[in-house]
Amino acid sequence: MEITESPCIQVCVMDRAAGLCIGCGRTIDEISRWAAMSPAERRAIMDRLPRRLAEAKLEPLPPRVRTGRRRLRERS
The mean pLDDT values, 10 residues at a time, for the chain of 76 residues are: 80 90 94 94 94 83 61 50
pLDDT on residue 9: 87
pTM over 0.85: no
**What HEC string does the chain produce?**
CCCCCCCCCCCCCEECCCCEECCCCCCHHHHHHHHHCCHHHHHHHHHHHHHHHHHCCCCCCCCCCCCCHHHHHHHC
Pairing of strands 20-21, 14-15: antiparallel
pLDDT on residue 12: 87
pLDDT on residue 61: 63
pLDDT on residue 27: 96
Q: Are 27 and 17 in contact (CB under 8 A)?
A: no
